[in-house]
Amino acid sequence: MVNTLGKRRGVGRVGFILVKLLIVVAIVGVLSGASERGFGTEQFRIVGYAPNWHGVKYLDDIDYSQTTNLIYAFAIPTADGTILPLNDGGFMTALVKKAHENNVKVSIAIGGWSYKGKPLESTFAKATDTDAKCRTLADAMLKVVDEHELDGIDVDWEYPRANTSVQYETLIKYLREGLDQRGEGKILTSAVAGFTSVGYSATALGYLDWVNVMAYDGDGCAGHSPYSYATDSTNAWKNVGLPKDKIVVGVPFYARPDWTSYADLVAADKDAAMKDKAERHGATMYYNGLETIAKKTEFACDNAGGVMIWEMSQDYTADKSLSLLNKIYETVKNKLGETKEPESASTNGVK
């Protein structure tokens, strides 16, 4: 995912394939009953990231009836264990209002790949290098939850490594404790690599309600996000013991190599909606069209607990039949029935 001034990047498959046998065994043990925290396994989630840098206008174009969860992006961590002021021009307020009016849960994501061109991995490492800093960072995020009446927190640390695994776990622990103190149903999630890393401990994963698997940016071209990348990523997380209802499969609403949005591709050529690659500005763009999005969603219905979207402003909304969100929703509806039930906006139960 990107922050306000940096492109979203992923990590290729090779770097995260090696998972030690002892970690597999540990995760299986810890997670055997962890998936029951606050939500029913029958509830399929449609999760969309809503970045603040496009302004509030695109929020009017989102069909909230077709989502279950939205995630504000991003709160930015600092090396001293605090977060920068949101300074988002009222975006958070508008997002929460529109979402809660439509019975959609809202979390806030902390992190992203980079900020002002600098990767945030080292910032996270410094922000959590003492227990006190972990508590300070957790408290800062929880304060935002309180101030904006949010439903949860999403940790987008890209990516915890073996040497920072304990720091990641400690931060997740304090966030879990703080959210639980605020009543039942507060959501704790994490955006994670398409292929698993030793940086995610069994204990840390046990604190989470689910993971948003970034099954995209496999490379800069045709391997960006094919169907196989979604299935392989999902199976990699299953192979370390994560129950399927705690796996939410990420899909991109943009193309590589230059992050052109699906909306722009379809606006230029309606036929692009039926393809997975298109020519634009003299280069070939690789993305997910309607057919691939439907196929991935069908797979997720059978093998995971939901679909995650990066990101909501990139959908084509001028024609419902060409909308990727609409394709996801209709596919889920056809496979599983209605995805949502009416609920009070003040209720904290996870959808």
Q: Does residue 231 fall inside a structural domain? A: yes
Q: Does residue 346 fall inside a structural domain? A: no
Q: Does residue 92 fall inside a structural domain? A: yes
Q: What is the pLDDT of residue 198?
A: 79
Residue 227, helix vs strand vs coil: helix
Closest to 189 (Cα-Cα) out of 270, 108, 127: 108
Give the number of other Cβ atoms within 10 Å of residue 294's Cβ.
17
Residue 204 is classified by DSSP as H
Q: What's at 171, amino acid-wise?
A: L
Q: What is the pLDDT of residue 22?
A: 36
pLDDT in tens, 196-209: 777 999 999 999 99
Q: Does residue 3 fall inside a structural domain? A: no
Is residue 252 within 8 A of residue 225, CB to CB? The reply is yes
Is residue 242 within 8 A of residue 205, CB to CB? The reply is yes
Residue 47, helix vs strand vs coil: strand
Q: Does residue 351 fall inside a structural domain? A: no
Q: What is the pLDDT of residue 275?
A: 98
d(CA 256, CA 266): 15
Q: What is the pLDDT of residue 196?
A: 74
Q: Does residue 4 fall inside a structural domain? A: no
Kindly report the CATH number assigned to the domain that includes residue 83.
3.20.20.80
Residue 191 belongs to domain spanning: 14-31+42-336
pLDDT in tens, 31-81: 443 333 222 335 899 999 999 999 999 999 999 999 999 999 999 999 999
What is the DSSP track for 150-202?
Answer: -SEEEEE-S---GGGHHHHHHHHHHHHHHHHTT-TT-EEEEEEESS--TTS-H
Q: What is the pLDDT of residue 338?
A: 72
Closest to 189 (Cα-Cα) out of 241, 179, 199: 179
Q: Does residue 9 fall inside a structural domain? A: no
- The tokens for 185 are 């149903």
Strands 187-193 and 114-115: unpaired
* Overall domain count for the chain: 1
Q: Which residues of the chain have pLDDT under 70?
A: 1-42, 339-351
Strands 306-310 and 45-51: parallel
- The tokens for 188 are 């704790």
Residue 85, helix vs strand vs coil: coil
